[in-house]
Amino acid sequence: MAIFQIHVYSDTLMQDVSCSLILPLPNVTNMEYGTRCTYPAENEKYQVVWLLHSGAGDHTKFIRGSRIEHYAKVNQVAVVMPSVGNSFYCNLPHHGNYYDFYTKELPAIMSSLFPLSKRREDNFIGGISMGGFGAFAAALRNPDQYEAAFSISGALDLDELGSIESISEWYKQISGCVFGDHRQYYNPSEHDLYSMAMNLLNEGKKIPRLYASSGNEDMYYQASKKVVDKLQQLPIELTYVEGKGAHDWDFWDPQLKAIFEWLKVRKAFVSE
């Protein structure tokens, strides 16, 4: 296995950015157990999972909290984990175009540096909490870019977050950056997942497969479930899983394992 800590300049954000990348390369277990893990040949690429952190997190969130390195190895996929601060994966009118960064510029940068497939069927995106919103938004606004998207304990309804007392100060700051102090920048095509899905259906475009899960003790439960309930009324492929759990890695990590099975990755290199 290899973990790369990447620091690169972003033209979109006009600043240096940080990103983590996991590649399943040969390691000592190849020798000990005879497992097969090789370097890609010249014409071979990795399938890619774009993994998005939660609010107040960064590109190291999954490496520190989950077994993501193991899941990348057994599924033979590359995992890209960017940092976007508390941007909610949106273009912020006065603080940077983070949506453009993680959906457009970052894939171009990473595929130019590493053997990552660019094909739709080889790219998947997901995240926890705030990252769940970012993953669904990316897939519903770029259906030709991702095969599937997943949300774990997703903060999918940005307005619903305002009713959670424990994060009121954080939400006030974030909502001001995203929507403006008087919601003058609110746009349902950018900030409402149901509207994004309806836009795709009205355009007759294929919607990526979606997976959402939430613990029934999660403080963000309603922020996830309200959106899932609305999306399930549409003619789209959406898997929803609910179980005992809170907003923590005790729920998130087992879900990551299950989701990698749901993604149906090839567990092999692909050719372009």
Q: What is the pLDDT of residues 113-155, one digit of tens each?
A: 999 999 999 999 999 999 999 999 999 999 999 999 999 999 9
Q: What is the mean pLDDT of residues 250-256?
A: 98
The DSSP code for 121 is: G
Side chain identity, residue 187: N
Residue 37 has pLDDT above 80, yes or no: no
Residue 31 has pLDDT above 90, yes or no: no
Determine phi and psi for 14, rounding to 5 degrees.
55, 45
Torsion of CA 82, 152, 92, 55, to 10 degrees: -80
56/229 Cα distance (integer angstroms):
27
Residue-averaged pLDDT of the chain? 95
Task: Write down the pLDDT at residue 32.
Answer: 46
What's the CA angle centered on 129, arms 257 and 87, to 5 degrees?
A: 130
Residue 164 has pLDDT above 80, yes or no: yes
HSE-up (13 A, CA, CB side) for residue 135: 32
Identify the residue whose tokens are 């995240």.
127
Which structural domains are found in the chain, ordered by start? 2-271 (3.40.50.1820)
Residue 36 has pLDDT above 90, yes or no: no
Task: Write down the pLDDT at residue 218.
Answer: 97
Phi-psi region of 149 (alpha: psi -120 to 50; beta: other; left: phi over 0): beta
Q: Which one, of 240, 49, 236, lies nearest residue 138 by Cα?
A: 49
Percent of the chain with pLDDT over 90: 93
Task: Write down the pLDDT at residue 29.
Answer: 59
Q: What is the mean pLDDT of residues 240-260?
A: 98
Among 132-136, 169-173, 194-198, 262-266, the range scoring the smallest mean pLDDT is: 169-173
Q: What is the mean pLDDT of residues 195-216?
A: 97
Residue 272 has pLDDT above 80, yes or no: no
Residue 35 has pLDDT above 90, yes or no: no
Residue 28 has pLDDT above 80, yes or no: no
Please give the structure tokens belonging to residue 65: 């909290």
